[in-house]
Amino acid sequence: MQKRIPVIIDCDPGHDDAIALIMACCAKNLEVLAVTTVCGNQTVDKTTLNALKILSFLGMKNIPVARGSEKPLVRPLVVASDVHGASGLGGVLLPDPQIRLQKENAVELIRRILVQAKDPVTMVCTAPLTNMAIFLAAFPELKVKIREICLMGGGLDHGNRTAAAEFNIYVDPEAADIVFSSGIPIVMCGLDMTEKALMYMDEIEKFSQQPGKITALAVDIFRFYADYYRQEGFNGIALHDPAVIAYLMRPDLFTTEEMYIQVETQGKLTTGMTFVDRRICPDKPAPNVKVCTKVDRTAFVNLVEECCLSYENGTLI
């Protein structure tokens, strides 16, 4: 039997974070050791409450949840109310959580888990990288306990919060710079790929006919999310954060390329840009990021749907 990959999910739920959590909790090849939260899509109080509600609704009461940073390292917080609503999960109603928040903060919980872990742990980051940057600065000796960092963020040739910067990197570029410069293996799911990881409206409506409370939750998320993407000119929704979980579940669905990427922190127009060194020269730095460039869209959507339905039929995916 394949050994499960131990993961800690650092997130800011967030509609697509919610779908990513649904997928991770039913993946038979993943072992979710903890969920940590950070400011991003909304304030950390709201993203933490959302994480607790989602995991409670999924029945995952044994997964510890810890609250992380309430602001970026050096900048004022920017949130995505325009995308995710005032609560961070606009259009979605969930019962009060049945899970208690850990007394430890996110960085302390990550440290404890890594110290106790027998095998290296994969960090799954679907939010600004503030928690990770603080952790790496505080406990650099524990880098060896991180197998890799799989993140949603950045883009090769465009952004979404600005022309140059994707939202997660834009919110805390200094933190992203620390992470990208850490020497830890990084897998990046950026906009170039995730904006092609689309679930179309007819697929959402067809999926809405399936049974189960988790499917109903997912459909509520998809429909609210679709209103924003419709205004952006998309015929469907871009499932950014679920792509990271899908990569860990089914890497065969993705095309990847090794690249050298730096994060811009000083630019007048380019702050938060993930800058790719495309030069062909002998002294070019070695690649530091494995970038997911393409995805089998149909198979990816099928995987998302299968994960939601697995809660109804009691199977792991």
- Nearest-CA neighbor of 316 among 249, 269, 263, 253? 249
Q: Which helix (H) or strand (E) holds 236?
A: strand 236-238
DSSP element (H, E) containing 57: helix 44-58
pLDDT of residue 97: 96
The burial class, CB within 10 Å (0-12 / 13-18 / 19+), for 96 is: exposed
Q: Give the residue among 89, 76, 82 at the shortest CA–CA distance from 11.
A: 89
Active site residue 158: no
Q: pLDDT at position 227, please?
A: 86
Which position among 15, 84, 158, 240 bears the catalytic label? 240
Q: What are the DSSP calls for 143-191, one per residue?
A: GGGEEEEEEE---SS--SSSSS--HHHHH-HHHHHHHHTS-S-EEEE-H
Give me the count of residues in the chain.
317
CB 146 within 8 A of CB 111: no
Regions of the chain with pLDDT less than 70: 1, 313-317
φ, ψ (nearest 5 deg) of residue 291:
-100, 125
Give the pLDDT of residue 235. 84
Dihedral pair phi/psi, residue 68, rounded to 5°:
-110, -150
pLDDT of residue 298: 98
Query: What's the pLDDT at 315?
Result: 67
63 Cβ contact list (under 8 Å, min separation 6): 25, 32, 33, 34, 35, 55, 99
Angle between helix 44-58 and helix 213-231 axes, rounded to 10 deg: 140
- pTM here is 0.96
> According to the model, what pLDDT value does residue 228 have?
86
What is the per-residue pLDDT for 1? 57
